[in-house]
Amino acid sequence: MAGLYRFLDSYEALIYIVLAIGGLFAFRWLWASWREWQQSAYRLEREFSLRRMSQAFALSLIVVILLCAEFIVASFVIPGLPAQVFIPTPTLDLLALPAGTLSPEMMTSVAAAPPAAASANMQGCIPGELIITSPKPGEEVKGKVDITGTVDIPDFGFYKYEVAPRGSETWATIAADTKPKKDELLGAWDTTALTPGDYQLRIVVTDNQGDAMPPCIIPIRVLAP
């Protein structure tokens, strides 16, 4: 239902134009059929004219009903809906980037990067609102990792967690969710397909107006499985 409301809201002007064109055609057909019925001299002609006039009237009535429905929904129903109805659920491009993996180019850049001790500094994390509590900043991880923390902001919309090689701004989305979390499991991360090395893990949370907060970023070192 939310998808239908988004469609009616996004294409309101186009819907009015299409229905107006359909209405002109239907009313023109109705007028011509009525004129033909008036001018019919024989019973059979009048029956055919009456049938066409009935069809034209039905089409005209449908167009009027659709116009009224679009006007009521656009003017009265949609303005009263919560803002999150118009925020599409986040989706991942699984063909271009399998969940929890990086592209070959990103893996190559990680393999070529010199090893460095991970900094224990967090960036943009806010205790009680947006923070990763596990794994810890600078922690070494391998295999399947459970990510826990908090994503609980006013007017919450959705969150996603992403990974990028150390020093890179090319982020790969691992997964996303539309439910706020309070010091609990945010999701899982399968690191087995990654080249061992230093990475950045971040949580991005977006409110129900579509505005994203500064992300919470921690450094992570991925070990060979």
Q: Which CATH class is domain 92-222?
A: mainly beta
Quick one: pLDDT at residue 9?
Answer: 74
Can you give the three-state secondary structure of the chain, one letter per residue? CHHHHHHHHHCHHHHHHHHHHHHHHHHHHHHHHHHHHHHCCCHHHHHHHHHHHHHHHHHHHHHHHHHHHHHHHHHHHHHHCCHHHHCCCCCCCCCCCCCCCCCHHHHHHHHHCCCCCCCCCCECCECCCEEEEECCCCCEECCEEEEEEEECCCCEEEEEEEEEECCCCCCEEEEEECCCEEEEEEEEEECCCCCCEEEEEEEEEEECCCCECCCEEEEEEECCC
Query: How far apart are the C-alpha atoms of 214 and 207, rounded to whole Å?
Result: 12
Quick one: pLDDT at residue 114?
Answer: 47
Could you read off the pLDDT tens digit of each residue along the chain, which spans 225 residues?
667 777 777 788 899 899 999 989 999 998 988 888 888 777 887 888 888 889 989 999 999 999 898 888 878 876 665 544 545 544 444 344 444 445 555 555 544 444 444 344 678 898 989 999 999 999 999 999 999 999 999 889 899 999 999 888 889 888 888 899 999 999 999 998 888 999 999 999 998 888 888 999 999 999 987
Quick one: pLDDT at residue 40?
Answer: 79
